[in-house]
Amino acid sequence: MKIRASRGVTPLYREAYVYCTNEACGFRGKLGLEMLQTLSPSATPNPDVKLPLAPSLLSQLLHDAN
């Protein structure tokens, strides 16, 4: 599979058009990609984006705060 094109629908969701690299196959499809969690906080966060912290990051931040 390869991505032929993609577009951002929202800051957290992207659609991509994919195709099979085997020319005999002919498959093409539409893929949805969603950002689910923050694994590492941004140094320049977008104030309009509210993304939950991954449990491991939350535990680390709570541990570091104590």
Tell me the sheet residues that pair with 33.
14
For residue range 8-64, list pLDDT tens digits in order: 999 999 999 999 999 999 999 999 999 999 999 999 999 999 999 999 988 888 889
pLDDT of residue 18: 98
| Euclidean distance between CA atoms 11 and 9, whole angstroms | 7
